[in-house]
Chains A and B, each alone.
Chain A
Amino acid sequence: MGKVFWRKMRNQHFSDIAFMAVVYLGLTFALVACAYPVIYVVSASFSSSRAVASGEMWLFPKEISLEGYRLVFQNKTVYMGFVNSVFYVIMSVLIQLMTTMMAGFAFSRRELPGRTWFNLFFVITMFFGGGLIPTYLVYLKLGLVNTRWALLLPGISFSNIIIARTSISALPEDLFDCSKLDGCSYIRYLFRIVVPLSKPILAVFSLYTAVGVWNSYFGAMIYLRDQTKYPLQIFLRTILILNSTIDLEADLSSEDAVRMMQVFATMKYALIVVSTAPIICVYPFVQKHFVKGVMVGSLKG
């Protein structure tokens, strides 16, 4: 393989070689910039808090310790948050796919009466929002506050509907005409023909929605009062952010303050790994469709 490589290089013009060298250098830099934080976090999760705090651990684990994982897995809130997050992801993806495909299909049909007006109503929502307080008031009046629906319903995005519409419009109209001749209704056409042919965009929507919902926390902090419904990210956030804002001198005796800081410092990296791993595991299953699906919204030749 080395010989083939050098033979190819010999046949290249010098400017091409230089260009490739710069490209590879840039990509290497980007790889290090992206991969190093991930490697650091994973290594830190398997290292002692002393090694991490002192700076001795900078790439590979030092003073291997599973104390962080032990603290994470023995904490019931982590399980509760994990289950909640999984629930929100699955339900949000299902709702997102259902509504996006149905709306996208409806918009793709030229015979939809009032299509222009509906389009206008939806487009307005892309540019204007009510803000936090009016939105909260709407949720309150609809009885969504402190319910799981407050986190599930708001995920519907018109930009995804536009992408779905574009993709469905690209399907041959003859397909629909033939189906209609055979007595196929709109609903049946959507679910039996359009959806199976739209796997790439379904994969894209699923992944984007799953990642977005998995990482979100703000809606839960604002609309949920019952902490048994909180997703995992809230718990992660309190560990990472509030740990540094504890008024140690006023609040606690020194020993309590140190004990709390030690616990949080130890479980911090393990909790990041535990909360990130599921999403990383999902990606390989959708990658095949993801590359195709990402280009759906682009211009076609």
Chain B
Amino acid sequence: MKKKEVKRKLFSVLLTLCMTAGLIGCGQKQTGTEQTAGDPEPAAQQVQESPETSTQPEEGKAETGERPTLRIMAAENPPGYDLPTRINENDTVLWLEDQLGIDLEFELVPADVMAERITLAITSNDLPDIFYFFNGSVNKISASDRVKYGKAGLLLPIEDMLEESFPNLYAYVTEEEPDMLPKLYEADGHIYGTPYIQTLAHMSHPTKLWTNRMFLDALEMDMPETLDEYEAYLKGVIENDVNGNGDPNDEIGLMGIANDTTWYKFFMNAFVPTVNRTFAADLYIDNETDQVLCAQVQDGYREGLRWIHSLWEQGLVYEGSLTLTMDQAKTVYMSEDPAIGSLGFYAPFLLDQTCTAPTYALLEGQVPLSNDGQPAINMLVGDEPQVGRACGVITSACKDVEAAARFLDFHYTREGNNILTAGPDYEEEYVAAEPGELNAVGKQAYWRDYKVTQDDLWTSNHALPNFQIRFQPEDLYFAGVRDESAPATVLQDVTEILKKYESQEYSSISPSVSVSEENLTAVGDIQTQITSYNTQWETDFIVGNKSLDDDWDEYTDGLYGLGLQTVIDAYQEGYEVFLSNAG
């Protein structure tokens, strides 16, 4: 018995030693120099691979021992379709591989976990060759992170190789849109990736409002162009049975939704340049002095809030405008079928075929309003065109930078965009437009009709619709012939209005200007606090819980107390860097 006990004890000690040795043995597994963010030395070129993530060609592809392989971590879009599971057998991807002589290994990640996956890739030194984001909203490498990772050598700066390795992109940003090149630079003076581009007027003018043409006609009014005319219109909607259904109580003047301040900031532009769709500090650039200013501490903002409050007091604003979510607004539309005089948010459900409430067929884009004889203010989100920096990012793990550059540069031609969107045989997917047939913005259209729908493209695994890095000059976005018999879509309508309407233009601070790395954390924290602060104060001013005369000073003092001046100074500094890059 004693011998058995001794044997058991020896066995357990041996087992413990084996476990310990195994743990130590696993920890000894090294694959060369390792680099994490923050280290000053450039990262190693070697990419750590696990057995299952080898870059050997998969089954179904030709053996291409000499072709470089690019591992691309991309944000998934559209969600829910089975394209992500078949991306590496996609017709367009296979065609691209043959044309470019590169093997493409896409790794699709749900957009909402992209941030975690990027962090894991960087901290574990398991970087892909390319980070690939189809637009700015899924680009989870923030401006400050790009600078930080760039300084650590994890991201490749491309400004020196732009002309030689990215000829298509270079030609576009220097010849066709020369104002665009300075927007590609980060705060440290480097370009860390190729951009997404949308030169669309409606994207540069985010604050939009729509007014019911049917009710204007019923009231025998023209489209309001001043605040007084607009107020008179809302009163007419509320006081009359404009939809003629015999119920005088189902009319709504102006309707908005919570957390989207568009519905009242649109009118602020009659007083002071205002653009933010949120409650954060609203910054703009003074045209004469190039100074960054905050709208919310200007007297014009107070007067604007006073006017909005007067609408609220008269019952001209729907009471749910400060509380409704988009889903709740949709329920109100579809269940109550209200008569809405003016819509203060972008509501795609109004294009739903099952929606029976007043649709965009009846809603017309509201022109910017003027006040007291002053020209209306047309607020721009940066000046055109829209650029999202670093959506195609080459990392230090990429062994063939030239191949990566060729792949990314392919995106920046109209032909390349058409192929990625509709497949290599895209010309057979569309019926070409005749000369003289115009698109929604009055230019020569490319297509008259599609032979296939977006659904077909997605489910047939033939192309990459809306998955590739956006390259959307206006003529590509509005490529189809405008159907005069169909109601104008909301985007076409706004584009026409904004282009023909004379007004004074101001630029907001975003997105071209970025704050330096040392200021970014502080600015982010302050903006978060200001957002919470304004959510309460602006709501209180609008509904009348606080007085615009007695409490205004307390409000502005509170903003400065939270650090508003720090935010303004940080953006002023960033704007000056932007101006110097622009030359």
Interface residues of A (CB under 8 A from B): 48-50, 53-56, 75-77, 80, 111-114, 117, 132-133, 136-137, 140-147, 221-222, 225-228, 230, 234-235, 237-239, 241-243, 245-264
Contact = CB atoms under 8 A, between A and B. Distances in A.
Contacts of B466: 251-252, 256
B79 A238 contact: yes
A142 B26 CA distance: 7
Contact of B85 (A77, A143, A239): A77
Given A251-B77, A258-B352, A140 B126 contact: yes
A133 B123 contact: yes
B119 interface: yes
A146 B348 contact: no
B181 interface: no
B85 A245 contact: no
B143 interface: no
A237 B76 CA distance: 13
A257 B112 CA distance: 19
Contacts of B126: 140, 145
B568 to A, nearest CB: 27
11 contacts: A80-B82, A80-B85, A113-B12, A117-B16, A144-B50, A147-B50, A227-B84, A249-B346, A251-B135, A253-B491, A262-B352
Contacts of B8: 111, 113
Interface in B30-73: 48, 50-53
A102 to B, nearest CB: 14
Contacts of A237: 110
B335 interface: yes
A140 B331 contact: no
Given A243-B79, A245-B111, 16 more contacts: A50-B334, A53-B349, A56-B335, A76-B82, A113-B5, A113-B8, A133-B120, A133-B123, A140-B48, A146-B52, A227-B85, A242-B110, A251-B134, A258-B349, A261-B348, A264-B80
B108 A227 contact: yes
B445 to A, nearest CB: 14
B499 interface: no
A257 B348 contact: yes
B354 A49 contact: yes
A133 B454 CA distance: 39
B29 interface: yes
Interface centre among A56, A111, A246 (most CB of B within 10 A): A246
Contacts of A142: 26
B567 interface: no
B39 to A, nearest CB: 16
B78 interface: yes
B354 A136 contact: no
Contacts of A53: 330-331, 334, 349, 352, 354
B579 interface: no
A112 B26 CA distance: 27
Contacts of A146: 50, 52-53
A144 B334 CA distance: 50
A75 B79 contact: no
A255 B16 contact: no
Contacts of B331: 53-55
A104 B407 CA distance: 56
B348 A54 contact: no
Interface residues of B, number: 63
A136 B120 CA distance: 7
Contact of B351 (A221, A243, A258): A258
B137 A225 contact: no
A64 to B, nearest CB: 15
A143 B78 contact: no
Contacts of B455: 259, 263
A257 B490 CA distance: 12
B117 interface: yes
Interface string B104-127: 000111111100110110011010
B82 A77 contact: yes
A247 B137 contact: yes
Interface in B6-26: 8-9, 11-13, 16, 26
Contacts of B198: 250
A44 B61 CA distance: 44
A146 B16 CA distance: 30
A227 B80 CA distance: 12
A247 B9 contact: no
Contacts of B353: 258, 262
Given A250-B135, A259-B454, A132 B203 contact: no
Contacts of A222: 113, 116-117, 120
Contacts of A136: 120, 123-124
A264 B349 CA distance: 13
B489 interface: yes
Interface string B123-157: 11010000000110100000000000000000000
A257 B346 CA distance: 12
A143 B112 CA distance: 25
Contacts of B453: 259
A248 to B, nearest CB: 5
B489 to A, nearest CB: 5
B124 A133 contact: yes
A147 B198 CA distance: 39
A235 B76 CA distance: 12
Contacts of A248: 346, 348
Shortest 10 CB-CB contacts between residues of A and residues of B: A54-B334, A50-B354, A113-B12, A77-B82, A238-B79, A114-B12, A242-B79, A258-B351, A143-B50, A113-B8
B80 A241 contact: no
A254 B486 CA distance: 13
Interface in B311-352: 330-331, 334-335, 346, 348-349, 351-352
A70 to B, nearest CB: 14
Contacts of A225: 53, 107
Nearest to B458: A260
A118 B491 CA distance: 67
Contacts of B203: 249-250
Contacts of B16: 114, 117
B479 to A, nearest CB: 10
B26 A133 contact: no
Contacts of B346: 248-249
Given A141-B26, A255-B351, A256-B454, A250 B137 contact: yes
A241 B27 CA distance: 38
Interface string B423-458: 000000000000000000000000000000111000
A257 B354 CA distance: 14
B493 to A, nearest CB: 11
B478 to A, nearest CB: 9
A150 to B, nearest CB: 10
